[in-house]
Amino acid sequence: MSSIDRRVRKEIEEVIKYIIYVVAALIAVAIISPEVSILTTLLLLVGLALIVSFSDSLRNWGAQYSTRSIGFLKIGDWVEVDGYYGRLVEETGSGVVLESPRREKIFVPNTRLASSIVVNRTTQIGSIHIVAFSLPGDRNPVEAMEEMREAMSTIIPELASEPEITMKARKSEYYFEIAVEIMNAYKAQMIREEIVKKILEAFPEAKILET
């Protein structure tokens, strides 16, 4: 387990230790008790009852190790899960707590982290955000990209780097994607809204696909 995070490894070791104690106690009782079959049946029933009662907690507990052992997330990262976006402020045994740019607290269970696509938007100097939109196929895509770069010029001071604009042709329309690296993640929502506003001002026929 040398590749697993130290805190997770310590918790796994503690669980294994308690399991060994329980198994040793059961073996000792089985040797001493004359009615082994009755004792075994009772232990089995108690075990099943505990598993059913704490099924949600057990799933969260198991998912905790599958997510934390990867080392993909850490305190302070800006994370997006199922459309919810925020800074990771706390890790618990049952999940993580995100703080949105509006200071809202969002609790995400470990089971959700393990079963969903998690995006860590944190970079060394900011956080990555994407705004996507489409234009009808009769628009000139080269001119559209130039207009978009000009419209984005007023937002550049808020960014950590130049915005990256890409374009793809899709059937009868063009698909544009604007990737921006925002220094102050608490302004992310405001900047995304401003980008959408600039897009619609330059291209009233545009369809916003992702923000």
Alpha-carbon distance 136 to 30, whole Å? Answer: 76
For the chain, what is the domain count? Answer: 3
For the segment 193-202, what is each residue's pLDDT rounded down to a tens digit? 888 888 888 8
Q: Is residue 72 part of a domain?
A: no
Q: Same domain for 183 and 152? A: yes
Q: Is residue 64 part of a domain?
A: no
Higher per-residue pLDDT: 156 or 9? 156
Q: Same domain for 183 and 148? A: yes
Beta bridge partners of 107: 97
Rounded to 5 degrees, what angle do the CA atoms 52, 98, 1 make? 60
Q: Is residue 71 part of a domain?
A: no
Q: Give, for 163, the enclosing helix (H) or strand (E).
A: none
Q: Same domain for 100 and 139? A: no
Mean pLDDT, the chain, rounded, equals: 79
User: Strands (DSSP E) along the chain, which ranges?
Assistant: 78-81, 84-91, 95-99, 105-109, 118-120, 127-136, 164-170, 173-182, 207-210
pLDDT band at 151 (very low <50, low <70, confident <90, very high): confident
Q: Same domain for 133 and 203? A: yes
For the segment 32-85, what is each residue's pLDDT rounded down to a tens digit? 766 666 667 767 776 777 666 666 666 666 666 666 666 777 888 888 888 788
Q: Same domain for 102 and 158? A: no
Domain that holds residue 34: 6-53
Q: Same domain for 136 and 170? A: yes
- CATH number of the domain where residue 171 is located: 3.30.70.600
Q: Is residue 67 part of a domain?
A: no
For the segment 111-148, what is each residue's pLDDT rounded down to a tens digit? 787 777 888 888 777 788 888 888 888 888 888 888 88
Q: Same domain for 96 and 167? A: no
Per-residue model confidence (pLDDT) at position 110: 80
Alpha-carbon distance 42 to 47, whole Å? Answer: 8
Q: Same domain for 27 and 47? A: yes
C-alpha atoms less than 13 angstroms from C-alpha of 177 in its C-beta half-sphere: 10
Q: Same domain for 147 and 183? A: yes
Predicted structure pTM score: 0.54
Q: Same domain for 135 and 202? A: yes
Q: Is residue 24 part of a domain?
A: yes
- CATH number of the domain where residue 116 is located: 2.30.30
